[in-house]
Amino acid sequence: MKYEEIPVNQVLRYALCDCGGRLIQEEGSVVFLSCPPQYPHICSVCGHKQTLRGISPELSYKEA
């Protein structure tokens, strides 16, 4: 089997609130076991609470 290696850069990606603040996963919060699961987040600027289908911040990758 052959492999192809592609250089990538790590990127930290934040979901943003309507006010422009970063949504951060609430520490010690529960996970709602819907399908897909939802995670409670809170805005770092205005304090707005929102549930997301993923975790913010998340580590993702971009091609270099």
Q: What's the Rg (C-alpha) of the chain? A: 15
Contact 64, 9 (CB under 8 A): yes
Average pLDDT (51-62) is 94
Look at residues 2, 3, 55 and name the one whose alpha carbon lies nearest to residue 24.
55
Average pLDDT (1-6) is 96
Average pLDDT (47-59) is 94
pLDDT confidence band for 22 (50 / 70 / 90): very high
* Percent of the chain predicted with pLDDT > 70: 100
Average pLDDT (20-46) is 93
